[in-house]
Chain A
Amino acid sequence: MDVKKQLRIATRNCGFIDPENIEDYFGVRGYEALANALTTGSPSAVVEEMKKSGLRGRGGGGFPTGQKWAFAAANQADQKYVVCNADEGDPGAFMDRAVLEGDPHSIVEAMAICGYAIGATLGVVYIRAEYPLAIKRLQQAINDARDFGLLGQDILGSGFDFDVELKYGAGAFVCGEETALIKSMEGNRGEPYTKPPFPVSSGYWKKPTVVNNVETFANIPAILIKGADWFSTIGTEKSKGTKVFALAGKIKNVGLIEVPMGTTLGEVIFDIGGGCPNGKAFKAVQTGGPSGGALTFKDIDVPIDYDSLIAKGSMMGSGGMIVMDEDTCMVDFAKFFLDFTMDETCGKCTPCRIGSKRLFEILEKITLGKGTEADIDKLRMLSNTIKDTALCGLGQTMPNPILSTMDTFMDEYRSHVIDKKCPACVCAKLMEIIILEEKCVGCTLCARICPVNCISGKIKETHHIDREV
């Protein structure tokens, strides 16, 4: 793996310190940023520094973190909350898990800093129940921080009170969406509601709430120690800092990487990832999970930042990067995501609840070889309608995998509906079985296992398939 292209900020401590030992974290200047803020800084100074750094949310949306904090700080209320979104719902992404398991204290510290900046006294981490080790380590980090007086009443004699508690998710992708997350934290069904009001004005228990992603928080102590000026030199003009990606799928070097914003897709997939294994050709890479799109070889020089990826019909998302090789059928792949969203739609609004089912049905029809050209048009029209009418981000972005694969792999869709062939040989119903006559040695194996007895031939003679059967 080409390590030179990487730069570790959010994952700076992962693998280097013992995550269960708070003193290890002290050794890498842990809790120094919090101590500095409490003793020599002021809440507004922290917010200003965050604004200056240009850090944008790593949970997918890319909203400027400093600005979010400033809104919450400006809203007057008797109680405010800091929420860490550790629901990491994108299947195929594990950046947040790695940070929570490898460096839990940085999250605790950053949440306390945020609490100080906006005037909150309670932080809540909403964490997936599927991550038992992360839960254990985070709980231990919270306990240890309490023992050292870094959480609780009157932290470091500054008069600032702050504590952190955990709430568990229960396996619902939509709960990663911030309004649904808040509903779920309150013990309800995790159904999103319309924004505004945004959580910064009315969130958890209707109080001003900052919701930030795990990786966003992990950046914060580093920014405050090294300074916003340092941080803002890294990355591109509108996307500062680094981004952690989880490389998975058909790629040689699977695992987590962290690269400066602006690194190209090609550098990530070929220089760092090593390309596809077994000599297979690279076909596409999906960024942004079920909300994103597939990028192909022609996009290989696209710099990775929020705006460039959106311009290409995909999105940054939380950082999952699934690489596909020539053996992947793009229609089948789009169908996989629709199957996922169909399962995960909360059902609150019609375009998403019913639309996902209809989209899935059309894709299913195509992969079964029963599609027509009209289905392709229907697919596109319905996709655009859902995009415009769904209530929350899940529904609005659900058609992206379809639209983006239709843009770049229209020929594959056409092969499925017109020639009734699956070019990647994935869709079983579109496969044609033939016997290569010159290779057939008459071993009779095929005839013996054929479920419909349509193969005839004598031992040591060429066999034939009777297509009429």
Chain B
Amino acid sequence: MSIVTKLGSVKDNKEVSKTMQSGSTCQLTGECRAPDRNTVTAGLYLELEEFINGLSQKEGHLVTVLHKAQGLFGYLPREVQQFVADQMELSLAKVYGVVSFYTFFTMVPKGKHPISVCMGTACFVKGANKLVETLKESLAVNVGEVTVDGKFSIDVLRCIGACALAPVMTIGSKVYANVTPDQIKKILEEY
């Protein structure tokens, strides 16, 4: 799917609210629940611009800038990519190429409390796939999707280096170790 269709469908705020009501949350079909663009303040763009101007050189720092941008905006929609491209004097295609290559970068927003389940080898051997199944069931969304209320999203990642505590999952920056499927309900209630 091209970036235009992927991001274009969330560009129009009216359409966003429509998909909100319809309840679909798929990040791949583009029916995503993007936050209201009017609330994305110009201040964030300003901060990003200052960060870019503060770099010793622009060459070779695209990944650095994208990290900063994602830290500020939470995700990297087309407008942000375009802004980065302009500021870094690169083409949008180049920026998109890099954004789509790395799994850390996301072009769609995550839930308020993003859940990531480790599916590295150690966690896999200790039954991490059962956690994913339980989460999918309890939240009624698939991996890569956001819940209808925008509260949670589920992702899988590959090893956070806490393998001795496998299986591991994170919610925001909090790490849960040795998680069993029957603990999931209680953990989710914390939020």
Contacts and interface: CB of A to CB of B under 8 A. Distances in A.
Given A91-B158, A189-B98, A248 B105 contact: no
B122 A249 contact: yes
Contact of A322 (B60, B98, B125): B125
A248 B163 contact: yes
Contacts of A171: 102-104, 157-158
20 contacts: A90-B121, A91-B120, A91-B122, A92-B123, A92-B159, A93-B159, A93-B161, A130-B157, A169-B104, A186-B59, A187-B59, A187-B63, A246-B164, A248-B125, A254-B163, A320-B121, A322-B125, A324-B125, A340-B158, A344-B158
Contacts of B101: 172, 189-190, 346
Interface of A: 88-94, 97, 129-132, 167-173, 184-190, 205, 246-250, 254-256, 286, 289-290, 320, 322-324, 328, 333, 336-337, 340, 343-344, 346
Interface of B: 59-64, 66-67, 97-98, 101-105, 118-126, 157-166, 173
B122 A92 contact: yes
Nearest to A325: B125
B48 to A, nearest CB: 16
Specify the main secondary structure of chain A where it touches its partner.
Answer: mixed
| Among all A-B residue pairs, the 8 with the closest Cβ atoms | A91-B120, A92-B121, A170-B102, A248-B122, A187-B62, A171-B104, A91-B159, A94-B161
B60 A186 contact: yes
B64 to A, nearest CB: 7
A31 to B, nearest CB: 26
A170 B125 contact: no
Q: Quick one: which of B63, B97, B103, B123 has the most chain A CB within 10 A?
A: B63
A132 B67 CA distance: 13
B60 A92 contact: no
Contacts of B173: 132
Contacts of B124: 336
Given A132-B173, A189-B97, A249-B121, 6 more contacts: A88-B161, A92-B122, A168-B63, A186-B60, A250-B126, A340-B158
A248 B103 contact: no
Contact of B164 (A94, A185, A333): A94
B125 to A, nearest CB: 4
A170 B66 contact: yes
Nearest to A191: B101
A330 to B, nearest CB: 12
A247 B159 CA distance: 14
A396 to B, nearest CB: 20
Contacts of A337: 121
Contacts of B164: 94, 246-248, 254-256
A280 to B, nearest CB: 12
B159 A129 contact: no
Q: Which of B103, B105, B118, B157 has the most CB of A within 10 A?
A: B103
A348 B123 CA distance: 29
Nearest to A94: B161
A363 to B, nearest CB: 15
Contacts of B105: 170
Contacts of A88: 161
A131 B101 CA distance: 20
